[in-house]
C-alpha cells in the first residue's frame, strides 16, 4: 500500500476486497499502526461485529469506507444462513461507525432461505432505518456446491441452475412456497428505488459531493449508473 502511494500517485484509494479481512483483529490493528499518519486512503470489507475501539483505529489509519454484509433485517433468516450476528448488533455497529466518522456501504440480499414478502419488506425497512451511506440490494444466487444450492434442490425450490441474466444481473431462479422468483426480482428492483430516490438520501449524497471532490466524482458516476439501472432494466431481469 505504501508502494502504491509512492509509485502510483494517480490511485486515490485502495479497496481491500476480502470478506475475511477483519477476522484476525490483532493483525488489523498492527496494519493500522503501520499505516497511521501515512496519508493513505483505503476501504475494506467488514462484518458488523467490530468494536468501537477497532473502528476508531481504522479511521485513524486512513480507512474511509467499510463494505458491510448486513444481508437481512430478519433475525430468523440471519440464523438460518449462520450469519453469526443479529440486527441489534447491526444498529450498534452503525452508531459506532458514525461516531468515529466511517462511511458504510451496506449490502442486503433478497431470496435467502425463509424469505417471504414480509421478510423482504422488513429488510428494506431495516436498511432505511440503518441509513448506510450507500447500499446494494442483491439476489441470493444458488451457486453449485453451496449449502444454499443443496437446500433449494432438497426442497424442490430450484427451477433453473442459471443465476445471471443475459444482461449480467443476478436473478432468482427459485420459487418459495410464500414468494415467487418474479416477486423476489421485482422487489429487489423496487428496493433500489425506495432507498436512493428518498429525499433524505439524495440530500446526504449532495452534501458529501459538495464537501469532498472524490465524493462528487463518486456521486456523478453512481447517479449515472443508478439511472441506467432503474430505467433500462426490467424488474424481472434484476
- By the 8 A CB rule, do 73 and 48 touch? no
How high is the pLDDT of residue 200?
Answer: 76
How high is the pLDDT of residue 188?
Answer: 92
Which domains are seen in the chain, by residue range?
Answer: 13-237 (3.30.750.200)
The Cβ of residue 111 has, within 10 Å, a number of other Cβ atoms equal to: 27
Residue 136, strand partner residues? 107
Specify the 3-state DSSP secondary structure of 131: coil
- By the 8 A CB rule, do 163 and 169 touch? no
Q: What is the DSSP string of 138-156?
A: EE----TTSHHHHHHHHTT
Specify the 3-state DSSP secondary structure of 220: helix
**Cα–Cα distance between 79 and 189 in angstroms, integer?**
25
The DSSP code for 130 is H
**Cα–Cα distance between 120 and 195 in angstroms, integer?**
14
Q: What are phi and psi of 138, to 5 degrees?
A: -105, 170
How high is the pLDDT of residue 171?
Answer: 86
**Cα–Cα distance between 45 and 58 in angstroms, integer?**
12
How high is the pLDDT of residue 89?
Answer: 96
pTM of the shown model: 0.84
How high is the pLDDT of residue 238?
Answer: 37
**Cα–Cα distance between 182 and 65 in angstroms, integer?**
33
Identify which of 49, 82, 78 has the alpha carbon closest to the alpha carbon of residue 66: 49
Q: What are phi and psi of 99, to 5 degrees?
A: -65, -35
The Cβ of residue 93 has, within 10 Å, a number of other Cβ atoms equal to: 24
- For the chain, residues with pLDDT lower than 50 are 235-238
How high is the pLDDT of residue 217?
Answer: 72
- By the 8 A CB rule, do 110 and 184 touch? yes
Amino acid at each position: 500500500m505504501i508502494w502504491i502511494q509512492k509509485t502510483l500517485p494517480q490511485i486515490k484509494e485502495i479497496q481491500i476486497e476480502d470478506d475475511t479481512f477483519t477476522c484476525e483483529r490483532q493483525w488489523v490493528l498492527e496494519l493500522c499502526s503501520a499505516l497511521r499518519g501515512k496519508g493513505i486512503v483505503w476501504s475494506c470489507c467488514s462484518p458488523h461485529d467490530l468494536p468501537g475501539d477497532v473502528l476508531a483505529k481504522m479511521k485513524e489509519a486512513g480507512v474511509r469506507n467499510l463494505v458491510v454484509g448486513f444481508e437481512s433485517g430478519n433475525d430468523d433468516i440471519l440464523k438460518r444462513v449462520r450469519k453469526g450476528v443479529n440486527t441489534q448488533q447491526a444498529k450498534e455497529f452503525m452508531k459506532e461507525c458514525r461516531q468515529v466518522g466511517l462511511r458504510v456501504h451496506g449490502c442486503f440480499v433478497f431470496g435467502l432461505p425463509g424469505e417471504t414478502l414480509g421478510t423482504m419488506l422488513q429488510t428494506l425497512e431495516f436498511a432505511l432505518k440503518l441509513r448506510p451511506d450507500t447500499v446494494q440490494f442483491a439476489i441470493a444466487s444458488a451457486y453449485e456446491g453451496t449449502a444454499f444450492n443443496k437446500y433449494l434442490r432438497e426442497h424442490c425450490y430450484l427451477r433453473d441452475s442459471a443465476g445471471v441474466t443475459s444482461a449480467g444481473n443476478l436473478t432468482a431462479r427459485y420459487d418459495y412456497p410464500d414468494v415467487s422468483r418474479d416477486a423476489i426480482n421485482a422487489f429487489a428492483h423496487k428496493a433500489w428505488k425506495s432507498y436512493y430516490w428518498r429525499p433524505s438520501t439524495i440530500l446526504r449524497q449532495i452534501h458529501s459531493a459538495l464537501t469532498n471532490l472524490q465524493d462528487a466524482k463518486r456521486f456523478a458516476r453512481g447517479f449515472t449508473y443508478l439511472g441506467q439501472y432503474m430505467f433500462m432494466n426490467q424488474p424481472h431481469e434484476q
